[in-house]
Amino acid sequence: MKISYKTSGSCASRIEIEIDNGLIVDTTFVDGCAGNTKAVAALVRGMEVSEAVRRLKGIACQGDTSCPDQLAQALEKAQSDALAS
């Protein structure tokens, strides 16, 4: 499953995510701090979606969210959408 998530309140404007059988295959942040977002994407590659959400949810940067927190929110939405279909 591939999803495109429009972020809110972070430097990245969008996150492109590919998930297969509950594992994160690929993540690409559009905009944002290139080094940090590439690092986050590399670290979650191959990780279970639920584990990534557990580790990243609630991390704040500018205000009450961040690129990692927005990724967690995108992954949660992908999980709920998958369950709904």
Q: What is the pLDDT of residue 5?
A: 97
Q: What is the pLDDT of residue 4?
A: 97
Planar angle of CA 59, 61, 65, nearest 5 degrees: 60
Put simply, whether the predicted model's pTM sits higher than 0.85 gets the answer: yes
Which residue range is the domain that position 34 belongs to?
A: 2-84
- The total number of structural domains that make up the chain: 1
Structure token digits, residue 28? 């690409």
Q: What is the pLDDT of residue 62?
A: 81
Of 7, 52, 55, 51, the residue nearest 32 (C-alpha): 7
Rounded CA separation 85/39 (Å): 32
Q: What is the pLDDT of residue 11?
A: 92
CATH number at residue 66: 3.30.390
Is 55:40 a contact under the CB 8 Å cutoff?
A: no
* Average pLDDT along the chain, 85 residues, taken 10 residues at a time: 95 97 97 94 98 97 94 95 81
> Any alpha helices (H) in the chain, and if so which ranges?
34-44, 49-56, 67-84
